[in-house]
Structure 1
Amino acid sequence: MAIVMSTPDVDGLARVTGALRDWQADDAPAHLHPGDVGWFWRYGAAATAAAVRTWSRDGRVLAAGLRDGATLLRLTTAPDARRDEELALRLASDLTDPDRGVLPAGRVNVEAPADALLQDLLAERGWDTDEPWQPSSRDLTAPVEDPGLRVEAIGPDRAHERTAVQRAAFTSSTFTDERWRAMASGPLHADARCLVGYDEHGVPVAAVTVWSAGPGRPGLIEPMGVHRDHRGHGYGRAITVAAAAALRELGASSAVVSTPSANHAAVATYRSAGFRDRPEVRDRYRAG
């Protein structure tokens, strides 16, 4: 049967995130994680469903993408479908043609696994590579050291602390208490933890959200931030170590995170927290 592209309804998101869980592996290239969908859920269930695209054959999901903003599609495939020619050709056509409704006209970006045949087909169609990102991971086989900072998992009663640190860490952040509640209402949040770190005076100084993909699979750190007024004290390393410990408690085999390679401070923070660099990745972009 032919490849079928579709946009799931809210109920259909469970099938998509289930596939994403199954596709996670410690030796896989950096790619879309169910936690990415969980983090997007802060915009609500309906918006999340509308941002997702799937490509299926014979009822099996072979590829899934998340429209993360107006011009970026974060895409991955089943591990055994990375070099599937029929799938890659359909994906390349759908992503290149604005009339297909996946990406608009103008400059757009696609994040896809580095070993996917799609990368070659997009290059043949004139898509260039964008700035590099640095994925990194930490093995969680052994117990994680004490972070050296008081870190607590927070719920609805202290969501305001989590959102306030996020906004103070990222000037463009729109993470509000309402959006935290929307995120927490989603089914993926059951396998997530929001952590806040406090200095010796009890002031919230750093925060992170971690997402499990299930026991024995890599867990995701997305996002992590340090309050702009409290940088330079090692709080980023501390909250990242705490994030790794939380993922280990959730049964994750490793912790993964990705940041722009040009963000040298973030790259150094993850290295100091025991994360090892993995091969850099680059989006493909179409100039328009």
Structure 2
Amino acid sequence: MAIMTRTPGVDGVDETAGVLREWQHDGAPVQLHPGDLGWFRRFGAEATAAAVRTWSRGGRVLAVGLLDGPGLLRLTTAPDARRDEELARRLAEDVTRPERGVLPAGGARVEAPVDALLHDLLSEGGWGVDEPWTPLRRDLAEPVEDPGARIEVIGPGRAHVRAAVQRASFDGSTFTDGRWRAMAAGAPYADARCLVAHDERGDAVAAVTVWSAGPGRPGLLEPMGVHRDHRGRGHGRAITVAAAAALRGLGSSSAVVCTPGSNAGAVATYASAGFRPLPEVRDRVRPAVDRRTSEEP
């Protein structure tokens, strides 16, 4: 049977997130997570649907991609399809040929699991590798320690607080309470939490959103940020420990996060919160586009 590429549409995004949920397990490489679709949902249902691609054979979805910014495709496959040659060749053709409607001509990047055959095919096609990223994971089998700060779980009435910390944590952020509401309206947010840490004066100093993929599966931190006026005081560790506790409360088996390998401060913060660095990963790249941040595409 032929492999079909499609954009699922608004009604199909929730189903696609469900497929991604089923592919998450602790033995897998860190990969595209339903929470990534959930975080993108801040731009609205239609924009999220337009950014999603699926590859199917015989009615079964084998791969899911998210166009997470200009020239960037974040991609994963079913665990048993990583080395599927027919799928890998179709993916390589689709990301290489602009007329397929996946990536534009010129500079582009593809994020894919490290064990995917697609890496080999893109390398053969002249794609290089981008700067390294460091995935980190914390096992959640045991109870999580107290974060040592007052942690607030954000609801609609306090969305403006969450949004303000986000803007103060990431230069150029366009996150607003309206975008928070758009995000929270998506199905993935039913298994998510937004947390804000407050200091001893009551100021909101750090924030995180955590995304569960269901009981017994890895949960995701995306994004985590510390207010630029309150850095260097342990607030990053506190909100990260709180994130791990929230995911454990949601039934997650582990908590995962990914940060640029060059960001030694972020790696150290996650490590101080009990996260263990995993082997670095690199995107496949055709030169001439800026690398993504974890905040805005």
Q: TM-score range by the shorter chain?
A: over 0.9
1:137 aligns with 2:137: yes
| AA matched with 2:58 | D
Alignment of 1:218-257 (within 5 A): 218-257=218-257
Alpha-carbon deviations, 1:175-206, whole Å to 9, x = none? 11110110011111110000000001111000
- Which sits farther off after the overlay, 138-147 or 7-16? 7-16
Tell me the distance in 2 between the aligned counterparts of 1:9 and 1:60.
17
Q: State the 1:36 CA deviation.
A: 0.2
- In the other structure, the counterpart of 1:207 is 207
- In the other structure, the counterpart of 2:169 is 169
Tell me the distance in 1 between the aligned counterparts of 2:188 and 2:93.
31
Q: State the 1:91 CA deviation.
A: 0.3
Q: State the 1:70 CA deviation.
A: 1.5
| AA matched with 2:2 | A
Tell me the distance in 1 between the aligned counterparts of 2:46 and 2:208.
25
Tell me the distance in 1 between the aligned counterparts of 2:251 and 2:271.
22
- In the other structure, the counterpart of 1:55 is 55
Q: State the 1:37 CA deviation.
A: 0.2
- Give the aligned CA root-mean-square deviation in angstroms: 0.7
Alpha-carbon deviations, 1:114-172, whole Å to 9, x = none? 00000000000000000000000000000000000000101011111101000000012
The DSSP-based 3-state class of the residue aligned with 1:105 is coil
1:264 aligns with 2:264: yes
- In the other structure, the counterpart of 1:28 is 28
Tell me the distance in 1 between the aligned counterparts of 2:79 and 2:175.
33
Unaligned runs of 5+ in 1: none
TM-score, normalised to structure 1, is 0.99
TM-score, normalised to structure 2, is 0.96
The DSSP-based 3-state class of the residue aligned with 1:22 is helix
Unaligned runs of 5+ in 2: 289-297
- In the other structure, the counterpart of 1:9 is 9
Q: State the 1:60 CA deviation.
A: 0.3
| AA matched with 1:164 | A
Q: State the 1:38 CA deviation.
A: 0.1
Tell me the distance in 1 between the aligned counterparts of 2:257 and 2:3.
31
Q: State the 1:106 CA deviation.
A: 1.2
- In the other structure, the counterpart of 2:101 is 101
| AA matched with 1:107 | G
| AA matched with 1:200 | E
The DSSP-based 3-state class of the residue aligned with 2:74 is strand
| AA matched with 2:124 | E
Structure 1 residue ranges (4+ consecutive) displaced by more than 4 angstroms after TM superposition: none
Q: State the 1:99 CA deviation.
A: 1.1
Tell me the distance in 2 between the aligned counterparts of 1:204 and 1:111.
33
- In the other structure, the counterpart of 1:155 is 155
Asked if the contact 2:14/2:188 (under 8 Å) is kept, the reply is no
Tell me the distance in 1 between the aligned counterparts of 2:83 and 2:238.
40
Alpha-carbon deviations, 1:27-61, whole Å to 9, x = none? 11111000000000000000000000000000000
- Identical amino acids, percent of aligned pairs: 73
Tell me the distance in 2 between the aligned counterparts of 1:210 and 1:111.
21
The DSSP-based 3-state class of the residue aligned with 1:134 is strand
1:285 aligns with 2:292: no
Q: State the 1:218 CA deviation.
A: 0.1
| AA matched with 1:101 | G
Tell me the distance in 2 between the aligned counterparts of 1:227 and 1:285.
32
1:73 aligns with 2:73: yes
The number of aligned residues is: 288
Alpha-carbon deviations, 1:240-280, whole Å to 9, x = none? 00000000000000000000001111000000000001110
| AA matched with 1:236 | G
Q: State the 1:287 CA deviation.
A: 2.9
| AA matched with 1:103 | L
- In the other structure, the counterpart of 1:120 is 120
